[in-house]
Chain A
Amino acid sequence: MGYLATTNFFEDREFVDKWLYTIRTGELDLSWMKAGTEKVRPHVENPRRGLIYRDINLGSYGVEAIPEKVRLNRSFAPRGAEIPEGVPDAQPWVSRKSELWAHNTDGYYEEAVTRQWNATTDIPWDRLEGVELPEAAGKALSQLMTFLTEVEMIATDTPATWLPRLNPDFIEVKAFIAAQVMDEARHTEVFRKRALTTGFGLMKASPMNEMALKHLRDADSFSEMSVALHLVAEGNVLTLFRFSEYLSPTDVDKKIFRLVMQDEARHVGYGMQHFKWVLEHFPQKREILHGHLDEAENISFAGGAATELTESFIVLAGGGLKRENIEKGVRITTAFQLKQMQEHFERLEKCGMPERSSVDRSKLWAMFEMGKAAAAEAGIRF
Chain B
Amino acid sequence: MAIRFPSTDYFNSLKKLMEADQARFRRLGFIDTTFGVSVTHNETSRDFVLTFEVFELKEVREVEKIDIAQVDFVIAGDAAVWRDMLENIRRNGEADAQHDLNTLAHFGEALKVSYAEPEGHDKLYRFMESIQEFFDLTSQIEVGF
Contacts and interface: CB of A to CB of B under 8 A. Distances in A.
A343 B28 contact: no
A269 B125 CA distance: 11
B107 interface: yes
A346 interface: yes
Interface string B67-102: 000000000000000000000000000101100101
Interface in A196-255: 238, 241-243, 245-246, 248-251, 254-255
A40 B35 CA distance: 37
A111 B30 contact: yes
Contact of A46 (B54, B100, B102): B54
B11 interface: no
B29 A347 contact: no
Contacts of B118: 272, 343, 346-347, 350
Nearest to B102: A245
Given A49-B30, A111-B30, A238 B128 contact: no
B105 to A, nearest CB: 9
Contacts of A110: 30
A251 B97 contact: yes
Given A48-B55, A246-B103, A350-B117, A238 B125 contact: yes
Contacts of B54: 46, 48-49
A116 interface: yes
Interface in B87-139: 94, 96-97, 100, 102-103, 106-107, 117-119, 122-123, 125-129, 132
Contacts of A155: none
A262 interface: yes
Contacts of B132: 258
Interface residues of A, number: 39
Contacts of B128: 258, 261-262, 265
A314 to B, nearest CB: 16
A197 B118 CA distance: 35
B119 A269 contact: yes
Contacts of A250: 97
Interface string A95-123: 00000000000000011011110000000
A265 B125 contact: yes
Nearest to A381: B107
A245 B103 contact: yes
A374 to B, nearest CB: 18
Contacts of B129: 255, 258-259, 262
Contacts of A308: none
A152 interface: no
A269 B120 CA distance: 10
B119 A272 contact: yes
A238 B118 CA distance: 12
Contacts of B126: 111, 262, 265-266, 269
A257 B97 CA distance: 12
A110 B56 CA distance: 16
Nearest to A343: B118
B73 to A, nearest CB: 12
Contacts of B123: 265
A242 B125 contact: yes
A335 interface: yes
B29 A242 contact: no
5 nearest A-B pairs in the assembled complex, by CB-CB distance: A115-B29, A114-B29, A265-B125, A246-B106, A265-B126
28 contacts: A46-B54, A48-B55, A48-B56, A49-B54, A114-B30, A115-B29, A242-B102, A243-B106, A245-B100, A245-B106, A248-B97, A249-B97, A251-B96, A254-B97, A254-B100, A254-B102, A255-B129, A257-B102, A258-B102, A262-B126, A265-B123, A265-B126, A265-B128, A266-B126, A269-B119, A272-B119, A272-B122, A339-B107
Interface of B: 26, 28-30, 32, 54-56, 94, 96-97, 100, 102-103, 106-107, 117-119, 122-123, 125-129, 132
Given A116-B29, A246-B107, A254-B103, 11 more contacts: A115-B28, A242-B125, A245-B100, A254-B100, A254-B102, A262-B127, A265-B123, A268-B122, A269-B126, A272-B119, A347-B118
